């Protein structure tokens, strides 16, 4: 149970109490081959029966989804960038496309703070909301450092990606990965995905794509490594991702120490007030 | 490439505004979700929980030192406030009928789970103590319940600081040292305020002193938060939501009311009217402080600069 709140964790499911759990599963989303088709968004909605989240046009390139949320469990970001030609005059325009998803953190703040036990760690090391338990307190919404989970207001409960818990238990791959035509979204055992990602990164670097980088694959990062990690072609914040997220519960022991001190101060303050004669 | 823009309406009017931060973002959209906790529920609960906690502690000491009138005020206030506060908490749930799921598990990693159990204790003890005081039935048990509520009370008043701090919202998380102390001061002032209002002058001496001690602590903690004193990363930026916009207005209004209330509490030893006015001012100040904390959290989550800039600097400065 060491490092239960912060730091690398060799087996996240075992730490959660499972005996001999299956290999940890996750997503590797290689954004360098994403073509922005949004098949992942559609497949996710279809399989999980996720309701619509409005039909607004955002004006943000081809992105009319906006962000992850209670009714958006895959979100394809479209970033349009222009920069001067390397040689000669004029500008180059490039499109970055990336399918975002719940990170299924090793140290998941949403799960830590959930007061009802509605959010659980599955045997696959993923994080899932039990919809028959959640009472919509919305603590998870404010705790997530990626802004993933949200409360569906007409329904009152919190919702997010389940990594298709109902499919992977049957040996199927999640709907988004199944639908992805370019294998930008890859599903599998996390260790295997990390190896594949590091090989892909090397290839890209050798081909001169020096801006390629992995995001969320490092288990010494602020969330103990993500179960869903990414290959990006620019800084994370360009895609709407936090550059260096840290699970808030890292500081929980210190928070309680300060609150305990404050409680003593309150009792002391009251006691002090009774020292006078009147 | 889109550099982020420093948002915040009316930002130019502020004195200690942070220079425009250059950072990159996805169309200026927030990284975090805006907290679903809202007004008046969340700040109302923070106030009532604090009031209940300080009042139950005050009641037990008044009881022990032979001040029955002040003890009665404290017991009734503590019970009424915790009932009202719990009502607001339940109303804020997405599924209020599932409120009892809060007591389904005891989960040390969730400040809200720990708080729910503390609150359940506070509710039971203060109700029993108040019922006994009003009906005269089982005074011994009432006194024991009142003593127990003096133990849960300080935690009811301060655990909410951990609830807010244990989030990804920079203005709340980075203030994990300040919020419990701020709530302690504000709760002492609130308990003293109702004590002064509802108790005859001769019996309200401890309430006046509580109000003064509380007001002093509340002003000190709010001032530190506002100036970013004691925040670790980018204190100038992370504390900005407490100065700007709606939160800033509430924080400054709270300060003015608290200062006025403290001055009134000094005069309240000679005038009951001064005591009532001071009590109302301190109550208003405590409420304004809680609204300021909620709105600062909203602003902090809604602008990506508060999330991105400190994190980016952490990565670039070894």
| CATH of residue B151 | 1.20.1630.10
Q: Is A128 found in the same domain as A263?
A: no
Decide if A239 touches B, using CB distance below 8 A: yes
Q: Is A278 found in the same domain as A211?
A: no
Share of chain B above pLDDT 70, in %: 93
Which pLDDT score, from 0 to 100, does residue A2 have? 53
Q: Does B23 reside within a domain?
A: no
> pLDDT at residue A24 above 70?
yes
Which pLDDT score, from 0 to 100, does residue B6 have? 43
Q: Is A186 found in the same domain as A266?
A: no
B247-288 pLDDT per residue, tens? 999 999 999 999 999 999 999 999 999 999 999 999 999 999
Q: How far is CA A261 from CA A256, A267, B113, B289, in A?
A: 8, 10, 20, 21
- Chain A residue with CA closest to B298: the answer is A142
Taken in order A265, A258, B216, B87, is the CA torsion positive or negative? negative
Question: Which residues form the domain of A275?
Answer: 250-278
> Is-contact A139 A115, C-beta < 8 A?
yes
Task: Give mean pLDDT, residues B158-176.
Answer: 98
Decide if B173 touches A, using CB distance below 8 A: yes
State the smallest CA–CA distance between residue A199 and chain B in angstroms: 24
Query: Phi and psi for A98 in degrees, rounded to 5?
Result: -150, 130
Share of chain A above pLDDT 70, in %: 98
Decide if A153 touches B, using CB distance below 8 A: yes
Q: Does B98 reside within a domain?
A: yes
Q: Is A162 found in the same domain as A29?
A: yes
Tell me which of A113, A114, A118, A137 to substitute to probe the interface with B (most B C-beta atoms closer than 10 Å). A137
Q: Is A264 found in the same domain as A178?
A: no
Average pLDDT, chain A: 96
Which pLDDT score, from 0 to 100, does residue B5 have? 42
For residue B246, give the nearest of B299, B183, B301, B307 by alpha carbon.
B299
Q: How far apart are CA A75 and CA A98, in angstroms?
A: 8
The reported pTM is 0.95
Task: Give mean pLDDT, residues B193-208.
Answer: 96
Question: Which among A149, A158, A256 is the nearest to B162, CB-wise?
Answer: A256
Q: Is A214 found in the same domain as A166?
A: yes
Which pLDDT score, from 0 to 100, does residue B293 have? 98
Which pLDDT score, from 0 to 100, does residue B3 have? 44
Q: Give the count of domains, chain B.
A: 1
Which pLDDT score, from 0 to 100, does residue A11 have? 94
Decide if B71 touches A, using CB distance below 8 A: no
State the smallest CA–CA distance between residue A202 and chain B in angstroms: 22
Q: Does A6 reside within a domain?
A: no
> pLDDT at residue A259 above 50?
yes
Chain B residues with CB under 8 Å of A58 CB are 27
Q: Give the count of domains, chain A.
A: 2
Task: Give mean pLDDT, residues B156-171.
Answer: 98
Q: Using the 8-state DSSP alphabet, how is residue B317 labeled?
A: -
A101-141 pLDDT per residue, tens? 999 999 999 999 999 999 999 999 999 999 999 999 999 99
> pLDDT at residue A222 above 90?
yes
Question: Which residues form the domain of B143?
Answer: 34-316
Tokens of A10: 């060799």
> pLDDT at residue B9 above 60?
no
ipTM of model: 0.95
> pLDDT at residue B16 above 80?
no
- Chain A residue with CA closest to B92: the answer is A137
Task: Give mean pLDDT, residues A180-205.
Answer: 98
> pLDDT at residue A86 above 90?
no
Q: Is A254 found in the same domain as A235?
A: no
Give the per-residue SS3 of B212-277: HHHHHHHHHHHHHHHHCCCCCCCHHHHCHHHHCHHHHHHHHHHHHHHHHHHHHHHHCCCCHHHHHH
Query: Phi and psi for B9 in degrees, rounded to 5?
Result: -65, 145
Task: Give mean pLDDT, residues A169-177.
Answer: 97
Q: Is A144 found in the same domain as A85?
A: yes
Q: How far apart are CA B301 and CA B241, in angstroms?
A: 10
Q: Is A255 found in the same domain as A151?
A: no
Chain B residues with CB under 8 Å of A83 CB are 1
Task: Give mean pLDDT, residues A220-243.
Answer: 97
> pLDDT at residue A32 above 50?
yes
Task: Give mean pLDDT, residues A191-217.
Answer: 97
Q: Does A7 reside within a domain?
A: no
Chain B residues with CB under 8 Å of A245 CB are 168, 311
B81-135 pLDDT per residue, tens? 999 999 999 999 999 999 999 999 999 999 999 999 999 999 999 999 999 999 9
Question: Does the distance separating the beta carbons of A138 and B29 come in below 8 Å?
Answer: no
Q: Is A277 found in the same domain as A194?
A: no
Q: Is A228 found in the same domain as A257?
A: no
State the smallest CA–CA distance between residue A214 and chain B in angstroms: 15
Decide if A278 touches B, using CB distance below 8 A: yes
Q: Does B227 reside within a domain?
A: yes
Q: Is A109 found in the same domain as A43?
A: yes
Decide if A257 touches B, using CB distance below 8 A: no
> pLDDT at residue A256 above 60?
yes
Work out the pLDDT band at A84, boundaries 50, 70, 90: confident
Q: Does A5 reside within a domain?
A: no
The DSSP result for A28-92, as a single string, is EEEGGG-----HHHHHHHHHHTPPP-------BTTB-S-S-BTTBSEEEEEEEEEEE-SSSSSEE
Chain B residues with CB under 8 Å of A115 CB are 102, 105, 107, 110, 112-113, 115-116
Which pLDDT score, from 0 to 100, does residue A88 have? 80
């Amino acid at each position: 149970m060491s490092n239960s709140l912060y730091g690398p964790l060799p087996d996240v499911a075992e730490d959660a109490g499972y005996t001999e759990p299956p290999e940890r599963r996750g997503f590797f989303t290689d954004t360098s081959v994403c073509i922005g088709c949004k098949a992942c968004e559609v497949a996710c909605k279809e399989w999980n029966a996720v309701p619509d989240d409005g039909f607004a046009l955002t004006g943000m390139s081809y992105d009319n989804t906006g962000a992850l949320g209670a009714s958006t469990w895959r979100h394809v970001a479209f970033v349009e960038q222009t920069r001067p030609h390397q040689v000669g005059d004029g500008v180059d325009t490039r499109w970055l496309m990336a399918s975002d998803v719940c990170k299924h953190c090793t140290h998941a703040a949403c799960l830590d703070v959930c007061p009802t036990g509605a959010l659980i760690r599955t045997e696959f090391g993923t994080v899932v909301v039990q919809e028959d338990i959640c009472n919509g307190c919305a603590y998870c919404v404010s705790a997530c450092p990626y802004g993933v989970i949200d409360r569906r207001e007409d329904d009152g409960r919190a919702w997010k990606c389940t990594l298709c818990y109902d499919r992977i238990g049957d040996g199927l791959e999640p709907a988004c990965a199944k639908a992805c035509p370019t294998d930008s979204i890859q599903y599998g055992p996390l260790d295997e995905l990390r190896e594949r990602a590091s090989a892909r990164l090397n290839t890209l670097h050798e081909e001169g794509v020096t801006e390629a980088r992995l995001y969320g694959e490092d288990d010494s990062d602020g969330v103990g490594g993500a179960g869903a990690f990414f290959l990006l072609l620019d800084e994370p914040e360009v895609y709407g991702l936090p550059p260096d997220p840290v699970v808030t519960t890292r500081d929980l022991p210190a928070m309680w120490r300060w609150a305990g001190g404050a409680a003593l101060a309150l009792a002391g303050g009251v006691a002090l007030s009774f020292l006078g004669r009147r | 490439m889109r550099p982020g823009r420093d948002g915040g309406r009316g930002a130019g009017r502020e004195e200690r505004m942070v220079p425009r931060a250059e950072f990159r973002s996805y169309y200026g959209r927030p990284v975090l979700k805006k907290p679903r906790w809202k007004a008046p529920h969340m700040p109302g609960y923070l106030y009532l929980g604090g009031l209940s906690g300080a009042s139950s502690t005050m009641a037990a000491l008044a009881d022990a030192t032979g001040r029955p009138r002040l003890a009665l005020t404290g017991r009734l206030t503590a019970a009424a406030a915790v009932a009202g506060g719990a009502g607001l908490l339940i109303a804020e749930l997405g599924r209020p009928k599932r409120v009892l799921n809060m007591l389904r598990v005891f989960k040390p990693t969730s400040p809200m789970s720990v708080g729910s159990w503390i609150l359940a204790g506070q509710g039971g003890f203060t109700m029993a103590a108040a019922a006994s005081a009003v009906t005269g039935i089982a005074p011994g048990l009432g006194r024991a319940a009142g003593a127990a509520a003096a133990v849960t009370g300080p935690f009811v008043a301060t655990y909410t600081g951990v609830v807010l701090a244990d989030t990804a919202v920079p203005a709340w998380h980075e203030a994990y040292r300040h919020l419990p102390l701020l709530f302690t001061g504000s709760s002492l002032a609130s308990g003293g305020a109702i004590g002064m209002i509802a108790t005859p002058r001769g019996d309200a001496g401890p309430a006046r002193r509580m109000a003064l001690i509380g007001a002093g602590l509340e002003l000190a903690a709010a001032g530190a938060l506002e100036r970013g004193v004691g925040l670790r990363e980018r204190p100038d930026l992370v504390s900005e939501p407490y100065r700007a916009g709606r939160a800033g207005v509430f924080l400054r209004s709270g300060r003015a009311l608290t200062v006025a209330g403290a001055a009134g509490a000094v005069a309240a030893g000679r005038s009951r009217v001064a005591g009532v006015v001071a009590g109302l001012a301190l109550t208003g100040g405590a409420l304004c402080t809680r609204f300021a904390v909620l709105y600062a959290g909203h602003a902090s989550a809604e602008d990506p600069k508060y999330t991105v800039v400190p994190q980016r600097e952490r990565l670039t400065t070894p």
